[in-house]
């Protein structure tokens, strides 16, 4: 397969998988019917399907798959961006504590301010706060570096993880504790159309900005002296990239809970396909992240009678795959 066909297949794959995923589930619908239902929203067509079919496709599966796709793209591109600017192929989208901060915010809301909206708001706020704290700790050092920033993220992540454990310890084991645990495991079961309108804009804007800055991530992945010699303001662009990575990661965690491994392994898959150039890695990470997350979601909602938490599946699949990459010595920049 030549390079153009490979690129075309790569970028068409999430759309094909998206369409097929609209058909599958506990209530399966033929793909021709799905296409007719979708096209009827744009063009007039004779109705040859039931109201239940239309409701399942339009009100249940379509908004869910939109969010699933955006969450996969957000986690993947933020992971690739962090790996680029921090010059470390082993970091992921939650390296600065956004996942643990959001997890604590959600647990706090579940205990004291129950309700889907308050849980999402607290998760988003504390996810952003966690990264702000990591960045604040880094700024105290006169000679701050990417290593100090990563270590600051580890400190903040550990702190909020301990607070999550405290929330779980104090939670009612009959009601609140199962809700906290289920949220932390990650799931798209409760996604609604309102979630699409509320969080999709954050993720879309963040992805667009990171794609626009992808060549600057190439420069930031160089030695600091080399980047400065090219006239790049390292602090400014690093701050902008970290902010938008945090924004889309926090938005993703708010709507889906904590889903690990996506931001770590997808960029490596992208590098295996398109090479180490971030101008190609970031777009490839977006489409691979979308495809990967949709497939995982399909497995989660169809494999067994009860829906499997997404965080469980991504860990089961991601950890062995990353071990395979290490064994094959494919984790790196070349």
What's the pLDDT at 332?
A: 55
Q: Is residue 131 part of a domain?
A: yes
Q: Is residue 259 part of a domain?
A: yes
Q: Is residue 8 part of a domain?
A: no
Q: Is residue 6 part of a domain?
A: no
Q: Is residue 239 part of a domain?
A: yes
Q: Is residue 9 part of a domain?
A: no
Q: Residue 219 sits in a domain of what CATH number?
A: 1.10.3470.10
Q: Is residue 332 part of a domain?
A: no
Q: Which of 2, 1, 13 is nearest to 270 (CA)?
A: 13
Model-level pTM? 0.91
Note down the domain range covering 22. Answer: 14-327
Q: Is residue 4 part of a domain?
A: no
- Count of domains observed in the chain: 1
10-residue stretch averages of pLDDT, the chain, 334 residues long: 78 94 92 91 81 92 96 95 86 86 93 86 91 86 74 92 94 90 90 91 96 90 71 82 91 90 92 89 96 95 88 89 74 54
């Amino acid at each position: 397969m030549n390079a153009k066909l490979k690129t075309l297949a790569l970028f068409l794959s999430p759309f094909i998988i998206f369409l097929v995923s609209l058909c599958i589930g506990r209530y399966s619908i033929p793909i021709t019917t799905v296409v007719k239902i979708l096209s009827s929203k744009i063009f007039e067509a004779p109705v040859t399907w039931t109201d239940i079919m239309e409701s399942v496709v339009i009100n249940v599966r379509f908004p869910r798959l939109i969010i699933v796709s955006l969450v996969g793209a957000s986690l993947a591109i933020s992971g690739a961006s962090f790996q680029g600017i921090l010059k470390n192929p082993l970091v992921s989208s939650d390296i600065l504590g956004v996942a643990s901060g959001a997890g604590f915010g959600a647990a706090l809301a579940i205990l004291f301010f129950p309700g889907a909206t308050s849980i999402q708001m607290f998760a988003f706020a504390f996810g952003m706060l966690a990264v702000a704290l990591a960045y604040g700790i880094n700024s105290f050092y006169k000679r701050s570096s990417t290593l100090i920033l990563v270590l600051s993220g580890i400190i903040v992540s550990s702190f909020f993880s301990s607070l999550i454990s405290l929330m779980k310890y104090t939670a009612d084991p009959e009601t609140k504790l199962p809700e906290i645990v289920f949220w932390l495991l990650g799931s798209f079961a409760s996604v609604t159309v309102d979630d699409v309108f509320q969080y999709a804009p954050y993720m879309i804007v963040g992805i667009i900005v990171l794609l626009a800055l992808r060549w600057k991530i190439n420069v930031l992945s160089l030695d600091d002296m080399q980047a400065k010699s090219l006239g790049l303001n390292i602090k400014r662009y690093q701050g902008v990239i970290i902010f938008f990575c945090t924004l889309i990661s926090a938005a993703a965690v708010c709507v889906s809970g904590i889903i690990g491994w996506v931001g770590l392994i997808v960029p490596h898959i992208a590098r295996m396909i398109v090479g180490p150039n971030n101008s190609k890695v970031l777009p490839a990470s977006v489409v691979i992240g979308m495809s990967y997350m949709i497939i995982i979601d399909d497995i989660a909602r169809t494999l067994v009678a009860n829906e499997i938490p997404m965080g469980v599946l991504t860990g089961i699949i991601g950890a062995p795959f990353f071990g395979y990459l290490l064994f094959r010595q494919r984790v790196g920049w070349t």
